[in-house]
Amino acid sequence: MNVTIVDYNSGNISSVINSFKEVAKDKVNIEVTSDLNKIKSSDKVVLPGQGSFKSCVDALNNINGLVDTLNDFAINNKKPLLGICVGLQMFADIGYEETETKGLGWISGKVSKIDNQNGKYKLPHIGWNQIKILKESKIFKNIENNSHMYFVHSYEFIPNDKNVISATADYSTNIVCSAEKENIFGTQFHPEKSDKIGLQIIDNFINL
């Protein structure tokens, strides 16, 4: 099996690569590339993302044909894709970080700044928070409710259809920390930095 981590200059992806290689061992081949043919022929795709919504969308668009290839992979061919952090946020129709920016539109909704309640909550939301699992998900296999995951973000994904939300975390409001729609999965937290429990999620995705 081939799992491709999309390398599109979206910031630091070393930890994502390390964690997937740790979980995959020799059983699964982990590719790190923006090569469109390799993405097309892979079994699963990971879409990481760091920095701002706009910078990640711009970086995707800078690689000719990448967005179309991802659309084919995830929407037309319905193959499994995992978005991490801004990778998840880009599923939305629109994001408001820096400036209004169009997203991939895979899960209808928007990405806005977390309400810090006039400074009561520090932003970014950095550190370990517990996830409240709202519905059964294949990527939460063997993950207990209220498990700790590592977060670092200031913006949150607000989907229109609340049924896509698979887990939330409590910070100012109930932040969407995991969403999924059929073959598309996304986590706002960083499984690659969430210790053994995070590696379990990666393992679950690889074994989908």
Which positions lie near another protein, rule CB under 8 A? 11-12, 14-15, 18-19, 21-22, 50-52, 55, 116, 119, 122-130, 148, 150-154, 170-171, 192-196, 198-199
Which residues neighbour 194 within 8 Å (Cβ) at sequence distance 6 or greater?
128, 148, 149, 150, 201
CB closer to another protein out of 110 and 153: 153
What one-letter code names the amino acid at 8?
A: Y
Catalytic residues: 85, 190, 192
Residue of 15, 44, 39 lying closest to 28 (CA atoms): 44
The token duo for 61 is 């668009």
Q: 201 near 21, Cβ under 8 Å?
A: no
CB of 187 to another protein, least distance (A): 15
CB of 176 to another protein, least distance (A): 16
Residue of 93, 78, 80 lying closest to 158 (CA atoms): 93
Rounded distance, CA 175 to CA 130, Å?
11
CB of 106 to another protein, least distance (A): 22
CB closer to another protein out of 78 and 113: 113
